Amino acid sequence: MMDIQKNILKKYFGYDRFRKGQEEVINSILQGNDTIAIMPTGAGKSLCYQVPAMALSGITVVISPLISLMKDQVDTLNEIGIKSTYINSTLTNLEITERLFDAKDEEYKLVYVAPERLNSGEFLNFLNEAKVSLIAIDEAHCVSQWGHDFRPSYTRISQTIENLNERPIVCAFTATATSEVKDDIKKLLKLRDPNEYISGFDRENLTFSVIRGENTKKFICDFVENNKEQTGIVYTSTRKAAESIYEALINKGHRAGIYHAGLTDEQRSKMQEDFSYDNINVIVATNAFGMGIDKSNVRYVIHNNMPKNMESYYQEAGRAGRDGEKSECILLFNPRDTQTQKFFIEETIHNVERKEYEYRRLQDMIDYCHTSNCLRKSILEYFGEENVDDKCGNCSVCNDNEEKEDITVLAQKIISCVYRMQEKYGAILIAEVLRGSKNQKVLKFGLDKLSTYSIIKEYTVKEIQEIINKLIADDYLVLSQGQYPVVKMNKRSIDVLKGKEQVFMKINKKVKKIANTGNELFDILRDLRKEISTKENIPPYIVFSDASLKEMSTYMPEGEDEFLTIKGVGQSKLEKYGDIFMQKIDEYRKSKNIKTKEVKQEKENKKEKIKSHVITFNMYNENKSIEEIASERGIEPSTAKEHLFRCAIEGMEVDLDQLLPEEYEKQIEEVTNKIGYNGLKTIKENLPDEISYFHIKVFLHKVKG
């Protein structure tokens, strides 16, 4: 594996080591095993079949439904010196014949095809006549009717493979799959005793937030204004919402684009190209956009509406931060979203069993929007991960340290108004009555005669409506089903009215600004990247990712050897761009009168800051207590302990007795002596609640090493 790491991973892709989970998958494929891998968006699935493609003799055929992505992936591979092509409906018959002829002569290492191509006799003949060593099936969840993006064309894949003269190795990849969908993939693709790998669904660089009851258009406009230099995607559930937000952003002078199924093919292609080439900063889109977006520097994804299920949400949100840099995933929830998604289910699904299944998945999504527990934990547990920490420290629930305001009296006024309006009206009309509006509808129904008329003058109608939405979101009121939902009371409403329950709420939510991860040199290199991408007619991220530019601006490499140490720089990138980027870095260094010695020292200092757990370890070596480290670093003591345990796993000298109380160790030892070491969950179930999974992991590391 070291030769592959050195000769393929570094030479072509510019990485020194594999990401989590990649090496095991690649090993499995190279050993000739059918393989299924479930890896989150941004975890590097493509590399898991691209590296074997270079190591194996013959051709690798990649089956993917993402026609929009094929060209980008092929361009990227050819850019780094891996000969590749694609066969899809965008080509003429003559172009297809020529490419298949060249592929048969092994002019290419990878051939990307859409599943519909399996209906072509010419292509099936090619598969039998060419030396195909590996078939990689991307977005494999599309084969399952229980997946979130079922494609009938995927059902032909197994039949095609079975009819080949020589069966190649088959591997299947997907980002999001429940256990039910995973079993479907294995069965319907007829994988032979496949090795299964689930690398974990966690994307540590992503911050998750759910914000409820806000004016979503205002929030989005404010967020984009505060993050003008960042690239983002705004998802909406309807074309109408997309057009409304797009127009608002354009009117405020933002470089925005729009994408939905109502546009022409040419318009959609132009918008997608502008986004890929950094000609626009933000694109407002329905879920028709994004399948196959390989853009690595998306810093935020905002959902204007709640998606229909967790798989869709996590795949769309996961388009942020593919380069590993910190990025934001924000879901703006409104109770109306629930009704919208229920309407879609009723209108588009007629099979009773399927309808019930979709309602269950919708409820899981609704629960995510309402949960008071860690959002990351909710996501990971949905996808079947066990032993997830209760607090990630990187979501809106875990980071929410602001004091809530007691709005019990305000809530009582609103609920009382709902009662006096006989639970027959929507949130807007209720807000107008409370504000004292002279609206014709208010007067027509005699609602100005109610005792609750005009009792909340200090808020605008819009603000009152938003508070009503929050009361609905927090289950103090409910919204009826139907096209025109009305606000109704429930048991909690009555408890609030009777003073049995207080209501605490945050009325306003400050719009965040994403921390700028770059610097002056980063901006200079980003401009240079844009110049090159325009000249070569390729997206900027194909030249270098933001992560690569960030390392260049941090370490200011001199000479080829140092430039090759930058993440994402391989031999091909060095030969193409090394001189021009190092020249720009040298110009910057001279303009700032930065001496080489100072730069090298700065490099060493900054390298020390890269790994957060190493900082904790260094403080630990200064004989500081865990409490002192936590206080000085502004982290929880539990986080400091996790850091030290990670250092111990990496071979650093840590006294594990400080992480595992003696009495806990004895109890864990007694349990493991009785039941063995068969799974953390089983051990935990036999221990008191105060002994956490962390304590068990520390114990197992002590005894197993």
Can you tell me the distance from the alpha carbon of 7 to that of 55, in angstroms, rounded to the nearest whole number? 10
Cβ-based neighbours of 364, under 8 Å, separated by 6 or more: 309, 310, 382
Provide the pLDDT confidence category of residue 599 given band limits of 50, 70 and 90: low
In tens, the pLDDT along 246-290 reads 999 999 999 999 998 888 888 888 888 899 888 999 999 987 665
Mode of pairing for the β-strands spanning 231-235 and 282-285? parallel
Alpha helices (H) along 482-570: 491-497, 520-536, 540-543, 546-555, 559-563
Q: Where in the chain is the domain with CATH 1.10.10.10?
A: 405-505
- DSSP-derived 3-state class of residue 694: helix
Whether the predicted pLDDT of 11 surpasses 90: no
> The tokens of 638 are what?
């539990």
31 CB contacts (<8 Å, ≥6 apart)? none
The answer to whether the CB of 616 falls within 8 A of the CB of 634 is no
Segment 572-592 mean pLDDT: 89
| pTM tops 0.85, yes or no | no
CATH of domain 520-610: 1.10.150.80
Query: What single-letter DSSP state applies at residue 333?
Result: E
By percentage, how much of the chain surpasses pLDDT 90? 30
Highest mean pLDDT among 357-371, 521-535, 661-675: 521-535
pLDDT single digits (tens) 344-393 = 888 888 778 888 888 888 888 888 887 777 899 989 888 877 778 888 88
Identify the CATH number of the domain defined by range 405-505: 1.10.10.10
Neighbours of 217 (CB within 10 A): 16
Q: How many CB atoms lie within 10 A of CB 471?
A: 27
> For the chain, where do the domains classified as CATH 3.40.50.300 start and end?
2-198, 206-382
Q: Mean pLDDT, the chain, as a whole number? A: 84
Q: Between these two residues, 497 and 694, which has the higher pLDDT value? A: 497
Convert the pLDDT of each residue in 50-63 to its tens digit.
Answer: 999 999 999 999 99
Average pLDDT rounded to a whole number, residues 527-540? 89
Residue 641 confidence (pLDDT) above 50: yes
Predicted pLDDT of residue 677: 66
Cα 204 to Cα 41, 292, 324, 346, 508, distances in angstroms: 12, 22, 9, 36, 27
- Half-sphere exposure of residue 324: CA atoms within 13 angstroms, side-chain side: 12
Contact (CB, 8 A) for 334 and 304: no
* Residue 510 confidence (pLDDT): 46
**Average confidence (pLDDT) over 225-247:** 92
Spatial CA neighbour of 262 closest among 271, 254, 253, 249 = 271
Instruction: Identify the band that residue 483 occupies on the pLDDT scale cut at 50, 70 and 90.
Output: very low
Least confident range of 15-19, 416-420, 650-654: 650-654
pLDDT number for residue 610: 47
pLDDT digits 0-9 by tens, 293-310: 668 889 999 999 999 889
CATH number of 206-382: 3.40.50.300
What is the arithmetic mean of pLDDT over 316-333? 90
In the chain, CATH 1.10.150.80 sits at 520-610
Q: Does domain 2-198 have CATH number 3.40.50.300?
A: yes
Summarised one tens digit per residue, pLDDT across range 79-120 is: 888 999 999 888 898 999 999 999 998 899 999 998 888 888
pLDDT single digits (tens) 115-163: 888 888 888 899 998 999 999 999 888 888 766 567 788 888 988 898 8
> Which residues 6+ apart lie within 8 Å of 584 measured at CB?
524, 525, 528
Q: What is the pLDDT of residues 27-40, one digit of tens each?
A: 999 999 999 998 87
- Supply the pLDDT for residue 221: 93
* φ, ψ for residue 505, nearest 5 deg: -155, 150
Q: Which of 401, 405, 413, 404 has the alpha carbon at shortest distance from 476?
A: 413
CA 545 to chain centre: 17
Residues 652 and 14: their CA atoms lie apart, in Å, by 28
Cα(160)–Cα(500) distance, rounded to whole angstroms?
A: 66
